[in-house]
Amino acid sequence: MTDPTPITPRVARELTKPVPRGQQKGQQTRAVILDAALSLAAHMGLEGLSIGALADVTGMSKSGVFAHFGSREELQISVIREYHTKFEEEVFHPAMPVQRGLPRLRALFERWVKRVSVELDSGCIYISGAVEFDDRPGPVRDALVEMVASWQAALGKAIGLAISEGHLRADTDGQQMIFEVHGLILALHHDARFLRIPGALDRARRSFERVVSYYATPEGLALTTSPPQPARKARG
């Protein structure tokens, strides 16, 4: 039997979070199962998830694992949502205190690149899931599309704020810029994870700056070498 999955910080928080006694054990168990499922999916893809494999890594019975999700499909959807939550915690939320506009957009991309750097030995569920479910309609594909679309919407908002702040040109095509920036991440995954090409992370960063320089205003370009500033407080 595979060694039990290690307790991650998220699971540790779940184990210590105060909840009614009647719900506590179930929530704790579900958190452990979901964390193990996320680890398996990162290495084997969503299609690699099975109740039996999760029973092995958690030391539970198959019926015990099944009782928390009800179906393999619901398990896959729960893993997608959990991955998205972690993605937001590591990429989106830390960038929000940064000054709105180009500094925040740059912070989002840098956090995204750093997440890729720690996924080189596992994988991105957004990307692997897209390969697995791109031509397979159903709830799992819908969940993947929803999560990726919500992240692209966040990028679009950051680009819109950069335009309103005068850091990007007023005629900037937001969808085109999202396409280009997202394409850099896909290329980074391919070169760094699949081809193992040294320096891919730095190439992605340089390419991002080239994209920015194309759309940036003189004021935006002046921010390139400036350290990120905290977001300004809204006026009362």
Query: Do 80 and 61 share a structural domain?
Result: no
Query: Do 82 and 41 share a structural domain?
Result: no
Query: Do 165 and 92 share a structural domain?
Result: yes
Give the model confidence (pLDDT) of 104-147 as tens digits. Answer: 999 999 999 999 998 888 889 999 999 999 999 999 999 999 99
Mean pLDDT of the chain: 86
Query: Do 79 and 65 share a structural domain?
Result: no
User: Which of the four pLDDT bands, split at 50, 70 and 90, describes residue 202?
Assistant: very high
* Tokens found for residue 131: 């390969």
Q: What CATH number should be reported for the domain holding residue 28?
A: 1.10.10.60
Q: What is the number of domains present in the chain?
A: 2
pTM of the predicted model, to two decimals? 0.81
Last residue of a domain, one of 20, 43, 70: 70
Query: Do 208 and 147 share a structural domain?
Result: yes
Query: Do 169 and 53 share a structural domain?
Result: no
Cβ-proximal residues to 123 (8 Å cutoff; 6+ apart), any chain? 42, 43, 45, 193
**Residue 51: domain span:** 9-70
Range in 7-11, 27-31, 49-53 with the lowest mean pLDDT = 7-11
Range in 1-10, 12-21, 38-47, 159-168 with the lowest mean pLDDT = 1-10
Query: Do 34 and 58 share a structural domain?
Result: yes
* Tokens found for residue 213: 């320089």
User: Which of the four pLDDT bands, split at 50, 70 and 90, describes residue 5?
Assistant: very low
Q: Is residue 232 part of a domain?
A: no
Please give the single-letter amino acid code of residue 227.
P
Q: Nearest-CA neighbor of 160 among 113, 152, 110, 228? A: 152
What phi and psi, each to the nearest 5 degrees, are found at residue 168? -120, 150
Q: Is residue 233 part of a domain?
A: no
Find out whether 91 and 108 touch, Cβ atoms under 8 Å: yes
Query: Do 217 and 180 share a structural domain?
Result: yes
